[in-house]
Amino acid sequence: ILAVSSISCIRSKILSHFDMIMIFLSLSRFFLQAWMMLDLFLSLFCKTYYYEENFLVTSRTVFVFLNYSSLWFSAWLSVFYCTKVANFTQSLFFWLKQRISSLMPWMLITSTLFSLATSLPFSWDVYNVYNNFTSPVNTTNSSEMRVTMKASLFSFVLLCNTGTALPLTVFIVSSILLIRSLWIHTRQMQNNASGFRDPSLEAHIRAIKSLFSFLILYVTNFISVFLILYNIFPPLSLGEAICTAVIPACPAGHSMILIWSNPKFRKVPARILQHANCHIR
């Protein structure tokens, strides 16, 4: 996705808003996957270095920033599709449809800065305070310690909910609006169909399936990140292992669906497979 979008911008000498979103999205996911692979490698082979407090705090902060950024860029992609494809008569939607092109660069930059702002506190003692608050305390002054921790605990909960819930809400609202618009248009096309195979109708149905897949993957990723950040499962448990596997799998699945559903991206892997088959023969 990154290669095709970058080449398209170089050839046209114009950075389209779709390519802009795809470049931001693919970069965030590339670095997210690379960081998670590095984190896994260090946890398996460099345990002494990995479990140092400074590295754990840095690892958590970078992961949160990249994950929040990826969530936001996915949400803006859904908003972009919605404004370009859906047809609604509401004044707010019409206003957004007219100005989405000029707003998109600022939306991407603002969401990046917002992700950074909500992830930086994870490099402080907020996450450690949360762990201490949720773990049993056996000291005599445990009640006093817990009272002093409540302010930081509230900050942690607020950061987690703000960083994940806002892009989730934007994504769900825009996806539902787009699915509804496509579904209405598809029903109208089916009623007016003359019995022949309509490529436009099939394209709309394929788009609806893709959007449902995006929605399922996005919500699944959100739930997994939520469970990991809140330490719902004990360390090294099956639940934690499943969430750790789902978090990188969902962005990868979303990227594969983007490639499959877009002819611009689908040509490259098809060309690679064609060249591979020629060399094998």
For 208, the token pair is: 């609806």
Position of tokens 């490639």? 259
Distances, alpha carbon 243 to alpha carbons 40, 88, 222, in Å: 14, 38, 10
For 137, the token pair is: 């305390």
Q: What is the CATH number of domain 1-130+145-279?
A: 1.20.1070.10
Tell me the three state secondary structure of residue 196.
coil
Sequence-distant (6+) residues with CB within 8 A of 232 are 239
Q: How confident is the model at residue 149 (pLDDT cuts 50, 70, 90)?
A: very low
Q: Mind listing the pLDDT tens digit for each residue in 86-142?
A: 777 777 788 888 888 888 889 999 999 988 888 877 776 555 544 554 444 444 444
Asked if pLDDT for residue 146 goes beyond 50, the answer is no
Mean pLDDT, residues 60-84 = 86
For all residues of the chain together, what is the average pLDDT?
76
Give the per-residue SS3 of 198-223.
CHHHHHHHHHHHHHHHHHHHHHHHHH
Q: How confident is the model at residue 24 (pLDDT cuts 50, 70, 90)?
A: very high
Of all residues in the chain, what percent carry a pLDDT higher than 90?
A: 6
The residue ranges of every structural domain in the chain are 1-130+145-279
> Which H or E element spans position 64?
helix 53-85
Give the whole-angstrom CA distance, residue 51 versus residue 53. 6
Do 98 and 152 touch, CB atoms closer than 8 A? Answer: no
pLDDT given at position 110: 92
Asked if pLDDT for residue 148 goes beyond 50, the answer is no
Asked if pLDDT for residue 174 goes beyond 50, the answer is yes
